[in-house]
């Protein structure tokens, strides 16, 4: 899409700004910044919109919420709990739900938005990973995204615990068990957080400060940095007709992208409001106030913490006595190992891939997932690893509903946590290779037209036609994966990078990482080349 000049309305706004700030050129240039039209690029915007909704609804809730564990006798309007002793935090949450006009609706919008916020970040990161959009120069922005994901989980944990109901208290008890299980310093950390013996009197107030001040401040700073870097570095785009490493094909920020974003925000807010109206979530009045001596059956955390719940249930009851200290491996390993694998893997993967391939180029065109089979297979294995842990967080529910012994579901989970990622890796890699071969076949033989033709010998065949130009350009947008060769170059000289054991290992990994990819499709032939093929040359001498 090309633009001859700024529209009249934009020129008038720029003149208004320039008369006061002298920033007309900057204003016009940035309002005409082009954004790609591919639907997948809007996934990150859902996270941004839900973050705004979380701030707005959270401010509303803070007007009435009391972050105190001081006890009182409930005298509110919810009669089943009337006269019961509970904390001020729980009583104020009941007050918001039943006595504040619109309070229950805003509470449920806030909770649904929190779930969608983490889900949107997760899906957005998967899109970035599978398309290779984390590569140079966006590796810093990828790191910021991983930190945002970690902070989102922390924000969810602290907010989930604030109502001080029986369900959130069970999760808080697990958190305290993990903290106190840390050798040597665990007891001190627990006393610091809870203000004494569990449950103490300070944890709600401290979680409240983290939930409304510390973590949102860090989120706001990182979101701002993320958007600024994205704006400066320009947006990636999917391969296709007219798309190169040096341009962006799409619509301008104003009015095209701004109009779509506004409509998308309204749709996101409307969907959350509809969910909050029609789908009940976190009915704390049914759970009752938290007491350390009670726990409800079938307790489940919010979905994004389910993988930690599952890892706790799968881990055998192992412990290790060392220098007079008991190290509860049954708590520490499931609490820290899965989350360590996930976040460390996310942080180091771009650097590891760059080291293996030696690819230090700038990338502004995304990969189709099928065109990098090993990366896509690694992502599928990671999703399977997470999914098995998440599913095993409900092994008691699975056992009860499907009449399977609980021990059998646990044993199956312990087996699947190792076999599942391997199977997912192999299947995904083979699918990617098959899809690449299918793309080459489409370019060379065309696509089925649905027309049946009878040949002179009586055989019936289906007529193939050339693929659409847009589809052909997408397929031809594939780029070869760089490879570090271990052997000598054309002059018989062994490259410096592979003259030592680590370099030779790097070369073998590089060749393995690129193995399985099909050749890069040739560029389309020009009409001149086709004419030369059709016109025979002069006959030669015999």
The pLDDT tens digits for 425-441 are: 999 999 999 999 998 88
Task: Provide the pLDDT for residue 541.
Answer: 47
CA dihedral 480, 486, 488, 493 (to 10 degrees): 110
Instruction: Domain ranges for the chain, please list them.
Output: 30-304, 483-520
Is-above-0.85 flag for pTM? yes
pLDDT in tens, 278-336: 999 999 999 999 888 777 767 788 899 999 999 999 999 888 887 777 888 889 999 99
Can you give the pLDDT at residue 59? 96
Cα separation, 220 vs 14, in Å, equals 28
**Tokens describing residue 373:** 């089979």
Q: Which residues does the chain have with pLDDT short of 70?
A: 1-14, 17-18, 20-24, 297, 489-492, 523-542
Place of tokens 């007309």: 24
Could you give the CA distance from residue 166 to residue 160 in angstroms, rounded to a whole number?
Answer: 11
Within 8 A by CB and 6+ apart from 283, the residues are: none
pLDDT attached to residue 25: 72
Tell me how crowded residue 119 is: count the other CB atoms within 10 A of its CB.
17
pLDDT at residue 536, rounded to an integer: 52
Please state, in angstroms and rounded to a whole number, the distance separating the CA atoms of residues 517 and 514: 6
pLDDT of residue 542: 40
Distance CA 291, CA 227 (A): 44
> Residue 322 region, left (φ>0) first, then alpha (ψ -120 to 50), else beta?
beta
Bridge partners, 251 (sequence order): 35
DSSP codes of every residue in 359-428:
--S---BPPPGGGSHHHHHHHHHHHHHHHHHHHHTTHHHHHHHHT--HHHHHHHHHHHHHHHHHHHHHHH
- Contact between 255 and 34 under an 8 Å Cβ cutoff? The reply is no
| Type and span of the H or E element at 169 | helix 166-180
Q: If one looks up domain 30-304 in CATH, what number appears?
A: 1.20.810.10
Predicted pLDDT at 297: 67
């Amino acid at each position: 899409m090309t633009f001859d000049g700024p529209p009249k309305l934009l020129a008038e706004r720029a003149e208004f700004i320039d008369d006061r700030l002298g920033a007309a050129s900057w204003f016009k240039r940035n309002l005409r910044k082009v954004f790609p039209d591919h639907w997948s690029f809007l996934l990150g915007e859902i996270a941004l919109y839900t973050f705004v909704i979380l701030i707005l609804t959270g401010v509303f809730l803070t007007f009435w919420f009391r972050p105190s564990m001081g006890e009182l006798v409930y005298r509110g309007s919810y009669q089943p709990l009337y006269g019961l002793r509970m904390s001020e935090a729980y009583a104020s949450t009941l007050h918001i739900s039943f006595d504040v006009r619109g309070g229950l609706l805003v509470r449920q919008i806030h909770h649904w938005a929190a779930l969608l916020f983490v889900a949107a970040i997760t899906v957005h990161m998967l899109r970035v990973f599978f398309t290779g959009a984390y590569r140079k120069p966006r590796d810093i922005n990828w790191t910021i995204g991983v930190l945002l994901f970690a902070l989102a989980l922390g924000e969810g944990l602290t907010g989930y615990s604030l109502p001080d109901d029986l369900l959130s208290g069970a999760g808080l008890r697990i958190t305290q068990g993990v903290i106190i299980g840390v050798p040597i310093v665990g007891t001190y950390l627990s006393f610091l957080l809870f203000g004494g013996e569990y449950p103490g009197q300070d944890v709600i107030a401290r979680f409240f400060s983290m939930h409304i001040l510390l973590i949102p401040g860090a989120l706001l700073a990182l979101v701002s940095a993320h958007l600024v870097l994205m704006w400066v570095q320009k947006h990636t785009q999917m391969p296709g007709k007219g798309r190169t490493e040096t341009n962006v094909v799409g619509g301008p920020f104003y009015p095209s992208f701004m109009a779509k974003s506004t409509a998308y925000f309204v749709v996101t807010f409307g969907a959350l409001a509809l969910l909050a109206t029609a789908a009940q979530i976190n009915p704390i009045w049914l759970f009752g106030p938290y007491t350390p001596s009670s726990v409800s059956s079938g307790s489940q955390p919010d979905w994004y913490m389910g993988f930690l719940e599952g890892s706790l249930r799968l881990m055998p009851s192992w412990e290790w006595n060392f220098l007079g200290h008991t190290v509860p491996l049954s708590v520490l390993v499931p609490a820290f190992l899965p989350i360590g694998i996930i976040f460390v893997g996310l942080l180091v993967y771009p650097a590891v891939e760059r080291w293996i391939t030696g690819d230090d180029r700038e990338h502004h065109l995304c990969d189709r997932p099928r065109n990098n089979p090993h990366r896509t297979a690694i992502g599928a294995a990671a999703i399977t690893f997470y999914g098995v842990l998440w599913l095993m967080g409900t092994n008691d529910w699975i056992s009860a509903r499907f009449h399977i012994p609980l021990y059998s579901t646990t044993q199956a989970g312990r087996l699947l946590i190792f076999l599942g990622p391997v199977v997912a890796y192999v299947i995904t890699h083979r699918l990617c290779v098959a899809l690449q071969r299918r793309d080459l076949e489409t370019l060379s033989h065309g696509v089925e037209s649905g027309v049946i033709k009878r040949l002179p010998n009586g055989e019936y065949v289906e007529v193939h036609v050339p693929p659409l130009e847009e589809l052909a350009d997408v397929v031809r947008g594939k780029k070869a994966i760089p490879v570090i060769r271990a052997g000598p170059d054309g002059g018989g000289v062994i490259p410096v990078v592979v003259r030592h054991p680590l370099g030779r290992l790097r070369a073998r990994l590089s060749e393995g990482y690129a193995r399985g990819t099909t050749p890069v499709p040739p560029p389309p032939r020009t009409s001149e080349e086709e004419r030369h093929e059709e016109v025979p040359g002069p006959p030669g001498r015999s």
